[in-house]
Structure 1
Amino acid sequence: MRLTQEITDEIDQLLLKNQEKLSLGQRKQLLKKIDILEVLHSKGYDIGYTTVCNTVLFVNLLKKKLILVYAKNYRCRNHRK
């Protein structure tokens, strides 16, 4: 089975639950990548550990990346004509 949007959404939900637990100080109850894989297998998804690792890494990188959105006709101070 390939990585689908449905599987990615499941991983996102599990990572969100991890963030909630972390904010509540429940660090020891966080799901590791292998735990996420086991949850996915229990839900009937046939996916490999490497795919889960790569997806978790990619999602975490996206969260760290800052995306700036500018309003139309916005000009920064050092803007050249």
Structure 2
Amino acid sequence: MGKKNANGGGSIYQRKDGRWEGIAYVLTTDGTHKRRSVYGKTWDDAHDKLTRLKADSNNGLPVATSKQSLGDFLTYWLANALPVRLS
């Protein structure tokens, strides 16, 4: 039986292959929120990865979308995420 996350903290469940999957909505570079998954061998591994993913999203560091090039992401990051971290 898995542990329970707080409301808005994402979901963690065990897959058929034995791995644990954590899912949460995170900020993307275009300003929307999308569902992203992280995986771990144990519930605690998945929870740690999910916590880091949510913390990065809450600090304004977006995840890259599959349709965006690296150059576009770096341009966005320099303009938006870097000034937030420097202040």
The answer to whether the superposition gives a TM-score over 0.5 is: no
Name whichever structure is richer in strand by fraction.
Answer: 2
- TM tier relative to shorter chain: under 0.3
Considering Cα pairs closer than 8 Å and 6+ residues apart, tell me whether 1 or 2 has the greater RCO: 1
Q: Give the TM-score of the pair, scaled to structure 1.
A: 0.27
Name whichever structure is richer in helix by fraction.
Answer: 1
Rg larger in 1 or in 2? Answer: 1
Q: Give the TM-score of the pair, scaled to structure 2.
A: 0.26
